[in-house]
Amino acid sequence: MSQYIISTANLTSYYVTTYLGTPIFVLGVIGEFLNIIVFLSLKTFRLNSCAFYLTIMAMASIGYLFTGLLTFIMMYGYNTDWKKQSRFYCIVRDGFTHICMLIAFSCLCLATIDQFLATCSYPRWQQLCNINLARRLCFAFIILWFLYGISFFISYDLVIDISTGNSYCRVTNEIFQQYLKTWHVLIFLGILPLSITVIFGFLAYRNVQNLSYRTLPLVRRRLDQQLTVMVLTQVVFSVFAITPYAVINAIILDPYITQDRVANAISRSAKMLSIILLYSCFASSFYIYICASERFRHQLVFVLCKMPLQRWRRRNVIIDLAIS
């Protein structure tokens, strides 16, 4: 019976990784690229601090999906571990994966805080929502997380088992291994981003209820409402996507889980599903924005269809004038 449970759990991990991970990766990369195109094509977004955070988040999410999810799919879905084939990839992969994840989390938190400030009734707080400050904050966090990622680069290595001759990519520093299981996973990837986004998301939601009654320009008011809806919807989805990952990692800290073969197989299968859900948090923003904001759908159509058509028409007019 126990062997049946273990084999079922392993088979479930395979199907979850292959049949959920692959479409999440493909759709996520396409969606994040479309986010970048829309945010960089329209001036209203290029000059907005919240949209800038979402743009950097989309870029970091693409890096996270390529370095993290693609390797994860190949490893557990197709039994091809690139980390075992290259010592360089073993050393840098996990570092860049966590750097991209932390940058994306930071941008989501900053976007949520930005929307709280943008929807406040205090003009001094609204002044903090400016593109120059957003660029400085993003640059500071990128530098911070790259410095933090050095600890990953010096802790991972390709180790060869002398008895079997097989190579394994693993953490060689036991202290850092314990830090990863507790502080890094539970705090930086769980409690901290969840707390910031939920608290400031709730405060922004309260502010936006009275936003339409304030003496703000119509364009500014509509943009604030649009971005607030997009960010808050992203926050709600992120809570449901991140919470299982944090909970599962907290549960498997119990030594009984690793000692019991059945419990270990079930927890490993549950962790696989929670990891896929975590990846979906960074692959779903475009589709969340499409569903949450009608204005974003119109902006997408304008950027992908109307803008190229307008450029083509202007080009033909210039050519006709040059010929005549």
Helices (H), 42-130: 43-46, 49-64, 70-76, 82-85, 87-118, 123-126
Element holding 239 (H helix, E strand): helix 218-251
User: So what's the pLDDT on residue 293?
Assistant: 86
Tell me the mean pLDDT in the region 112-136: 86
Q: Do 296 and 230 form a contact (C-beta atoms < 8 A)?
A: yes
Say how far apart CA 181 and CA 190 lie, in whole Å: 12
User: So what's the pLDDT on residue 218?
Assistant: 45
Here the tokens at position 140 are 């500071």
What does pLDDT average to over the chain? 82
Q: Which of 218, 174, 195, 223 is nearest to 50 (CA)?
A: 223
Q: Which residues contact 293 (CB under 8 A, 6 or more apart)?
A: 226, 229, 230
- State the pLDDT confidence band at 304, using cuts at 50, 70 and 90: confident
Q: Do 48 and 304 form a contact (C-beta atoms < 8 A)?
A: no
Structural domains in the chain plus CATH codes: 1-310 (1.20.1070.10)
Spell out the long-range contacts of 199-203 with Cβ–Cβ below 8 A and sequence spacing 24 or more.
Answer: 200/109, 200/112, 200/113, 200/115, 200/116, 201/112, 201/115, 201/116, 201/231, 201/232, 201/235, 201/236, 203/116
Q: Which of 126, 156, 134 is nearest to 57 (CA)?
A: 134
* pTM to 2 decimal places: 0.88
Element holding 159 (H helix, E strand): strand 156-160
Residues in the chain: 324
- State the pLDDT confidence band at 107, using cuts at 50, 70 and 90: very high
Q: Which of 94, 105, 207 is nearest to 152 (CA)?
A: 94
